[in-house]
Structure 1
Amino acid sequence: MSDATYQSSPGCSIEPSPKSSRFPEARHKQHVMLTGTHSNLDWELIIIDDASPDGTQEIAKQLIKAYSPERIKLQPRAGKLGLGTAYVHGLQYVTGNFVIIMDADFSHHPKFIPQMIKKQSENGADYDIVTGTRYAGDGGVYGWDLKRKFVSRGANLFADTLLRPGVSDLTGSFRLYKKAVLQEVIRKTESKGYSFQMEMMVRAKAMGFKVAEVPISFVDRLYGDSKIGSNEITAYAKSVISLWVKV
């Protein structure tokens, strides 16, 4: 897995994990994503790769050649050190005012980025966070079997019942943050695994930040496997209860 950070006036965080076996197609899709979605933005892409074997660094180097080192910056790490620490690492290199975090195995489509940017300042609202939701409006999930959908829905319902976070999708990771807000929320967040995204939103609410939602379509990853087992479910449940006690 790797993480990356786009900066513009919106800065964006992305986690690309295309498989090397489909390297040419993955590289093409990254090119389309950058040129098609961000042509009117002042942006940078900071890639944090945790020594993944999936061809991420090769794709990053091709993007550097195509867009220049000023636009695309590769900041690899020695190994898998956790999602939270990857965000902290990437934030060191962000120069913009906003950060967008998303999966870049094309589970999250970049077409929603302009909607998030528009929503952030809609009607002068000046939201601190705009989060993508699979469970409101026109949002949805594609490519999951019934069990996976049930687990995800159940996880969100369980957390919503206990924590009352004020958002419909706690476990998603497609979000826009003000950079300063992201830094502050991360400092307060203790989780490192699957519950990291959930705790970020719960902490943000407790800290009084303004949050808006944009419906998104989530398509199960095109490159590699996306698995969740009983250990992850148990850890998530424990994290929800722990947050309920602490926050």
Structure 2
Amino acid sequence: MKMGATDNFYSIILPTYNERENLPLIIWLIIEAFTKLNEKFEVIIVDDGSPDGTQDAAKQLQAIYGEDKIQLRPRAKKLGLGSAYIHGIQFATGNFIIIMDADLSHHPRHIPQFIKKQRESSCDVVTGTRYRGNGGVAGWDLKRKFISVTANYVTQTLLNPGVSDLTGSFRLYRKEVLVDLISRCTSKGYVFQMEMMCLARSSGYTIDEVPIAFVDRVYGESKLGAGEIIQFAKGLMKLFATT
């Protein structure tokens, strides 16, 4: 899907923790997508002190693709997803920011669809959805699918957010919109994405959706556990009481 160059510049923020094996492939796929688009871009890797050599892999990628295309902006330890975006935004020169996971669960082939959707509707936010059109999930067992569907159903019922996938983390934002929303967001972890959409809706920002295929991580261990599920439930109740 070749769109032709515009004056837009896209900054992709990739929070990482122990993604040494996934990082080279996700970077290659991102670069391939933007090369076909003929659009200007940069990738900002925000690594939270990974002990597995993720930062060494990032430095090797900088040597291959150039530091103008690949920025490494590490932090000393894990400090939360929202703060990772805040950290990355400081170094972002794009007028649009794409956030996505580095574990290959979000395929960069969807990026052209995000950009096309934003141009067509001039919306402020484009969010990926697993629950509309040809969107879906691959690689999850029945238990994980049940948790995901149930969580989404409950959030839709309680919050009426205006988007079909409130917990997704593959999104495109106008930079100034992301800066505004993230400055007012108080949640951490998985609840962060939910609050961002609720804030966007209540602030009058326009949101559109693109169906995506979510694929469970290829290498490494999932970071979703009982603690995150409890955190999600507490965060949902807080959002219900305040939005």
Q: TM-score, normalised by structure 1?
A: 0.90
CA RMSD of aligned residues (A): 1.6
Q: What amino acid maps onto 2:225 in structure 1? A: G
- Paired with 1:48 and 1:19, the residues of 2 have a C-alpha distance of 11
Tell me, what secondary structure is at the counterpart of 1:38?
A: helix
In the other structure, the counterpart of 2:177 is 181
**1:89 matches 2:50:** no
| Per-residue deviation, residues 67-113 of structure 1 (Å, max 9, x unmatched) | 22222111111101111111100000011100000012111100000
Indicate which of 159, 164, 168 corresponds to 1:172.
Answer: 168
Give the aligned partner of residue 217 of structure 1.
213
* Maintained 8 Å contact 1:141/1:218: yes
Q: Which has the higher mean CA deviation after the structures are superposed, 30-39 or 169-178?
A: 30-39
Structure 2 gap segments, 5+ residues each: 1-7
Q: CA deviation at 1:47?
A: 1.2
Q: State the distance in 2 between where 1:91 and 1:207 align.
A: 20
Q: Secondary structure at the match of 1:103?
A: coil
Alpha-carbon displacement from aligned partner over 1:126-184 (angstroms, at most 9, x marks no partner): 10000000111000100100010010111111111011001111111000000000000
Give the corresponding residue for 1:4. Answer: none
More moved, 56-65 vs 143-152: 56-65
Aligned partner of 2:11 in structure 1 is 11
Q: Residue in 2 aligned with 1:206? A: 202
What corresponds to 1:132 in structure 2?
128
Distance in 1 (alpha carbons) for counterparts of 2:19 and 2:148:
25
Classify the secondary structure of the residue corresponding to 1:104. Answer: coil
Contact kept, 8 Å, 2:16 with 2:46, in 1: the verdict is no
Cα 1:31–1:190 shift into 2, 3 Å: closer
> How many angstroms does 1:222 deviate by?
0.8
Instruction: Give the C-alpha shift of residue 227 in structure 1.
Output: 4.3
From 182, 189, 194, the counterpart of 1:193:
189
Instruction: For 2:19 and 2:44, locate their aligned partners in 1 and report how far apart those are by CA, in whole Å.
Output: 19
TM-score w.r.t. structure 2 length?
Answer: 0.91
* SS across alignment from 1:43: strand
Q: Shift in Å at residue 34 of structure 1?
A: 3.5
Paired position in structure 1 for 2:51: 53
Secondary structure of the residue aligned to 1:173 is coil
Q: Which runs of 4+ in 1 moved over 3 A?
A: 15-20
Query: Counterpart of 2:5?
Result: none
* Equivalenced residues, count: 234
Cα distance in 2 for residues equivalent to 1:47 and 1:169: 25
Query: Structure 1 stretches of 5 or more lacking a match?
Result: 1-7
User: Which residue number in structure 1 is paired with residue 117 of structure 2?
Assistant: 119
**Further displaced range: 89-98 or 60-69:** 60-69
Question: What is the DSSP-based 3-state SS (H/G/I as helix, E as strand, rest coil) of the residue aligned with 1:93?
Answer: coil
Aligned-residue identity in percent: 54
Q: Deviations over 1:9-49 (max 9, x none)?
A: 222222345654x47xx52x245313310111111111111
Post-superposition offset of 1:58: 1.5
Partner of 1:5: none
Establish whether residue 160 from structure 1 lines up as the match of residue 132 from structure 2: no
Judge conservation of contact 1:17–1:223 (CA < 8 Å) in 2. no
Q: SS in structure 2 opposite 1:11?
A: strand
